[in-house]
Structure 1
Amino acid sequence: MSPRTKEQNEEIRKQRTQEILQAAILVYAEKGYAASEIGDIAERAGLARGLVYHYFKNKQTLFRELYTYMMEGTNRFTKSHFEQEGSAFDLFHTYARLVCNQVLEKPAISRFYMRISLDVHYLFTPEEFSPFDWMKGFMRPMTEAIEKGMSQQSIRQGDASLMAAQFWGGVSQGMNYLDRLQQELLSQEIPVQEQRERLEAAIKQVVDSALAIIRPA
């Protein structure tokens, strides 16, 4: 058997890293940072514990990379979404629905985003990471889209930064509610069709409430 090439080794490294990070999301969603263990992540990934340590020297290193990976993905998605052409108001409507739908379709990912802000202090020192600066950067595409919407008259006039923060606050609180509601409905063994109807009604209310912040008079 021929030895693997440098390119093949790199591809394997990327694949293993992804497997570990995806497993870490699932474990974190269930246990949070403090209770998550490398052994749990290895088991969920279907890998030997020692192999995980080959890629990440400890739990903090793993979760630092996971945090960076997830947040960079969020920033890219949000930026590309609000750079699309069309009505700014419609872009906010679509964004809110996409985010809410993810809570139901990929609950572990949504729980990661909802909980990780409480655990950032385990991963970074204040000098290494500023939650305020990160949030300001994350909100920038929304703020710019609101300013564009004002010029289009598809969004009411006001302080664009404040309105972006209020919109996202409504969506993020709605995400928490949807997650709890879905878990409650599953625990009660309510028929699937009724679950879908109640969840869809809740999504609509969350989206409508968030959009009320920017809706033109």
Structure 2
Amino acid sequence: MKIPAIAGLALAMLALCFSAAADAAINLSGTRVVLAAPAKEASLLLQNASAEDFMLQAWVEADATGEAPFAITPALDRLRAGQQKALRILYYGEGLPTDKESVFWLNVQEVPQKARTENTLQIAVRQRLKLFYRPAGLPGKAEDAAKELKWKLVDKGGKTLLEVTNPSRFHVSFASVAVRKGAESYSAPIDMVAPGSSFAVEVPGLVERGYSNGFKVEFQAIGDYGGMTKHINVIAN
């Protein structure tokens, strides 16, 4: 079935609007936020890099317990073209574990001003980044947590899984994880492992069944400021 010329033009314009709006106009000064006690707040610098004004909305998503003991200021504000503004994240001071890190999602959503012309599609673009609350006095250092990870291959239900255990009190986030043996390389879909926990995933293409001899894991860990460090570990039997 052929699409009429007018409908085809409308679809092309719609696709163009989606493509243009998909790029965020507001730049964030970091890829994550760490609120480290005894500090009661952390900040994130926002910059409107466009030539248009945007309404800014920010909030923190609750964790699995339904708790999000944070306040955001400004939670709703206008960010004018070229303007910079600091987003403050304040901790209430109670309710979170004191023996390990907690993690939440910080959302920054930009809402464009009313369109000057009719038949213009506008989209509210949302950026999400991790918000870590780090209690005071935790043993060890966050930058050393990636070195403490323990890796092994496990056989579950006839499938080979890569399991990572994090004995530290800090979250470890990954930019990439790969299982390697000689010229073979298998990517593992692991985003993050929580403190004091284990996480296992199936590694597509890996056909070994519980035999980890000769395998290594190479991964890039993401630090507090968004930088990445490369690590190579032997996978234990």
TM-score past 0.5 threshold: no
Q: Which has the larger radius of gyration?
A: 2
Q: TM-score, normalised by structure 1?
A: 0.30
**Greater strand share, structure number:** 2
Q: TM-score, normalised by structure 2?
A: 0.29
